[in-house]
Amino acid sequence: MKFRFLPLALLLLFSYGNMLGQNVEFETTYEGASFTFGITSNSGSVVSIDWGTGAGPENATIAGFAVTCPYALSGTSTIKIYDDNLLNVNFFGSEKKIQAVKLNSTTLNSFACTSNSDVTSIDLSQVPNLQGLNLEECGLTSINLTGVTNLTSLQLNGNPIANLNVDLNTNLATLNVKNTPISVLNLSENEALISLYTSNSGITELDLSANTELQVLECFESNMTALDVSGNNKLREIWCRDNTIGVLDVSNMPDLEVLRCNNNSLQVLNLSASDKLTTLVCDNNALETLVVNPGCYTVLTILDISNNKLTIDQFPKVQVTTTGGKNIKHIPQNINVVKVKFLADGQSIDVSALYAEGTGTTNLRICKSGLTANWAGYTNTSGMVSFPSTHYDTEMYVYAQKAFFGGPVRSDNFTITGTPVGIDAEKTDEALTVYPSVFTTDVKINCKDGVSVRIFDVMGKVVYSSALSGDEELLNLSKLSTGMYILQVDVVNASYTKKIVKQ
C-alpha cells in the first residue's frame, strides 16, 4: 500500500485557510491614514484583519467598538475581517468610500454601510442570522433577502432600488424605503411589522390589513389617493401629509398620539377614541366635520386646523399644557412652545373668554401672525390672566414666560382653557336636536334654517344626503348598517354635527 502525502506548504496553506474561518470582505478607495470602522465580536477585543498590504492577516485591537487601520491606504484596498464570532460591522459615512461588499458569517447580527453610492450590490446568502441591515443612501438597484429570514430591521431609504420582496422576512419589525422608486410593496406576510416608512417613494397604495401590530406609519408626499388604516388600531403616529387622500378612518385608535394629515382632501376626521393625542395637524384639507376626544385637550400641544371648511363651533375647546421649565430660544417669528392655529373661511375668533393659569407665570404672550409688532404681554399677579376682547383671524401663538424680550425665555406650566366669547358650549345642542340618537329606523331632526343634511360613516364617506324643506324633518335611515355615524346639518354660514348610532 502506498501512502501519498500532500506537500508541506500546501498542507499549511489548507490549514491556514480553515483557521481564518468566516469573514467580511470589502473594497475601499479611501486615501490616507486613520481609516476607522465600527466592529464588535464575541471573541473579545482582538480580531484578525487583512488590510490588503500583502502582509496577510494580523491582529487588530477593537478600541471603543472601533478598529483603525495602522497603514495609510491608497488606491483600491481590499480589506478582509476574519472572525468566527463577529457580531456587528458598520461603515457610517461617505468618507469610508466603500465599494464591493461580501458577507460570510453565521454569527453576524447587524451590518451597516451608509452614504456609499458605489455599493451597487450586496450578497446576503451567507449571513443567515443577520437581524439588522442598514444600507441608507447607497447605490443599490436590487437586493435579494431570501437568505436573511431572521431580519428584523431593514433600512433602504435613498437607494435607486425599484423592486423589493420581503415575503420571507416574516420577523421584520422596521422597514424604511423612503426616497426610493419602489412602486409596489407587498406586506401581507409581515405581521410583526411595527414601523413603516415609505415617504417620497413611488408607493401610491398600501395594503396594511395584515399589519395589525403597526405603531408608526410615515407615507407623506407619495401621491396617495387612499389610505386604509381602519384595522391598525395600535397606531401611535401617522404621518400622511401632502397626498390627495380623501378618506382616513382613525375612529378606533386609542393609542394615537401624532396625526399629521395636512394638505390632503379629507372632509371628515373622527378622533373620538384618541384621548392621548398630542399633535393634530390637519390644515389645508376640506374638513367639514371634526370630532376630537375631549380627553386629549389636556395633552394636546400642537393643533393646526386652519384652511378647512369648519365652522367656529366645531373647533376643539383646547386646553393645552406645556412641559414644565422648557427653555426656548426667543425667535419672534417661530415661537412654538404651544401653538394653536385657527382659520375658517375668513371667520375670526374672539378669545376674550380664554384665560391662562399656572404657578410662576408672570407674563402671557399672544401672537396674531408671528410678527414682533403683534405680540402683547399681560401681567399675571393672581395666577390667572384674562385676554382682552381681541379677534384673531389667522394663527394664534400663546406661551408663558418669566421675562420679556432679550435672549432666551423660560416657559413654565400653564393651561389655556375656556370657550371663545359668542360661542356657547351648548350652541350645537340648542341649534340642532336629533331624536333618538340611538335608532333602528328613523331619526327626527330639528334645526332652524337648515338647508341640507349629510351623514358620514366612520371613514368619512357620505352615506346619506338630502335637502331640507323645513325646520323639522323625519329621516328614514333603515338602509344604513349598524354602527356609529356623524350627522351634519348645514345652515347659512354654519353647520352643526351630532353623533348617532344605528342599532
Q: What mean pLDDT comes out for the span 71-75?
A: 92
**What value does the mean pLDDT take over residues 63-85?**
92
**Taking 60 as the threshold, does the pLDDT of residue 305 lie above it?**
yes
| Four-point Cα dihedral 334, 335, 336, 341, nearest 10 | -80
- Contacts of residue 10, Cβ cutoff 8 Å, sequence gap at least 6: none
Q: What is the arithmetic mean of pLDDT over 53-57? A: 88
The share of the chain scoring above pLDDT 70, in percent, equals 70
Residue 288: the pLDDT is 81
Average model confidence (pLDDT) across the chain? 77
Q: Where are the alpha helices (DSSP H) in 204-324?
A: none
Q: How confident is the model at residue 80 (pLDDT cuts 50, 70, 90)?
A: very high
Q: Which residue has the higher pLDDT, 326 or 61?
A: 61
Neighbours of 324 (CB within 10 A): 12
- The more confident residue out of 145 and 403 is 145
How does residue 375 score in pLDDT terms, banded at 50, 70 and 90? very low
Q: Report the range out of 178-192, 383-397, 456-470 with the highest average pLDDT.
A: 178-192
Q: What is the dihedral of CA 229, 235, 241, 243, to 10 degrees?
A: -20
Q: Is the model's pLDDT at 334 over the cut of 90?
A: no
Look at the block and give the residue holding cell 390637519.
282
Domains along the chain with CATH numbers: 339-417 (no CATH), 427-502 (2.60.40.3080)
Whole-number pLDDT of residue 190:
98
- Check whether 447 has a pLDDT greater than 60: yes
**Grid cell of 267 as nine digits:** 372632509
Q: Per-residue pLDDT tens for 238-250?
A: 999 999 998 899 9
Q: Over the stretch 395-420, which tens digit does the pLDDT of each residue have?
A: 444 444 444 333 333 344 444 444 33
Q: In residues, how long is the chain?
A: 503
- Does the structure show a pLDDT above 50 at 290? yes
- CA–CA distance, 475 with 346 (Å, rounded to integer): 33
Q: Does 232 have pLDDT greater than 60?
A: yes
Over residues 460-484, mean pLDDT: 87
Cell match 422596521: residue?
Answer: 174
CB 291 within 8 A of CB 486: yes
Q: Which of the two residues, 188 and 8, has the higher pLDDT score? A: 188
* Range 366-382 average pLDDT: 43
Instruction: Give the three-class secondary structure for 415.
Output: strand
